[in-house]
Amino acid sequence: MKKPLILVSNDDGITSLGIRHLVETMKQLGEVIVVAPDSPQSGMGHAITIGNTLRLDQTDIYGPEVKAYKCSGTPADCVKLAKHHILKDNKPDLIVSGINHGSNTSISVLYSGTMSAAIEGAIEGTPSIGFSLCDYGHDADFSHTLHYVKAIAAQVLKTGLPKHTTLNVNFPPKRNEPLKGVKICRQAHARWQEEFDQRFDPNGRRYFWLAGNFVNFDKGEDNDEWAIANNYVSVVPCQFDLTAHHTISILNDEWEIEIE
């Protein structure tokens, strides 16, 4: 039987440890092609390059058995270039992004380049998954995630996903006890409370440095933040249709717009 074709991308850059683990894991499931940024693109969200040139160069970073390309653009650019230029009519069976070095739970999904690569895949009608490890340490241990990465990807290859849906998968950091399993859950009601630290460069010119804290307002036990805190793998199905459908009827009933 023909092996499934799996496209791998990320936002931490093509040399990151997380994508190396993801490539090695996906090689156990199918034929792998990598298109990833040539430098870190964290926090880029779903940005695309429209005012600058895009560079795309093949690399042997993963050896002769894996065709890999480094791209000067964003994660969304990488998936677009893979589909429309590199693969053309050869549609991938699965797109996976990550493994991100840091959490993409809750509201972070909107800012995440990792998830934007996966969402771009869903826009193109391809089953897609974004994987993230909730550990920002330079020596983060990914080993406990790999069995689940393989199992979740294999499940999606087997059964597919609803059209235009992608999965946001987050792993707790490595702890003394094994992971308890997988929780299919919703996005937590939480957000960043930003602060901008005002500083001055050596020439006396003012600049700002984004800081702040992540605050979880959600007391439920069915969300991704609860799952991670309790040592579960969180799996949140996501869609790119941001329409607040329940508000349409409210606005139609309550609004009385008068044009003078």
pLDDT digits (tens, 9 = 90+) for 134-150: 998 888 999 999 999 99
pLDDT, average across residues 167-172: 98
The answer on whether 252 is annotated among ligand-binding residues is: no
Q: How far is CA 156 from CA 39, 49, 81, 153, 210, in A?
A: 29, 30, 23, 5, 37
79, 120 contact by CB (below 8 A)? yes
The answer on whether 12 is annotated among ligand-binding residues is: yes
The 3-state DSSP class for residue 210 equals: strand
- Return the CATH number of 5-189+220-254, one of 3.40.190.10, 3.90.1150.10, 3.40.1210.10, 3.30.1330.60: 3.40.1210.10
Band (pLDDT 50/70/90 cuts) for residue 104 is very high
User: How are beta strands 94-101 and 5-9 bridged, if at all?
Assistant: parallel
pLDDT digits (tens, 9 = 90+) for 204-230: 999 999 888 888 999 999 999 999 999
Nearest-angstrom CA–CA distance, 135 and 145: 12
Q: What is the pLDDT of residue 106?
A: 94
The 3-state DSSP class for residue 99 equals: strand
**Residue 113 CB partners (closer than 8 Å, separation 6+):** 10, 11, 37, 41, 42, 43, 44, 45, 74, 75, 76
Q: What is the pLDDT of residue 257?
A: 85
Strand-pairing partners, residue 239, are 165
Band (pLDDT 50/70/90 cuts) for residue 2 is confident
pLDDT at 1 over 70: no
The answer on whether 11 is annotated among ligand-binding residues is: yes
Supply the DSSP symbol for 82: I
Nearest-angstrom CA–CA distance, 96 and 23: 9
Summary mean pLDDT of the chain: 94
128, 119 contact by CB (below 8 A)? yes
The answer on whether 213 is annotated among ligand-binding residues is: no
pLDDT digits (tens, 9 = 90+) for 236-256: 999 999 999 999 999 999 998
The 3-state DSSP class for residue 132 equals: strand
187, 106 contact by CB (below 8 A)? yes
Q: How far is CA 121 from CA 20, 131, 240, in A?
A: 20, 14, 11
pLDDT digits (tens, 9 = 90+) for 46-82: 999 999 999 999 999 999 999 999 999 999 999 999 9
- To the nearest whole percent, how much of the chain has pLDDT over 90? 86
Long-range Cβ contact pairs of 50-59 (< 8 A, separation 24 or more): 54/81, 56/81, 56/85, 56/86, 59/14
pLDDT digits (tens, 9 = 90+) for 122-134: 999 999 999 999 9
140, 133 contact by CB (below 8 A)? yes
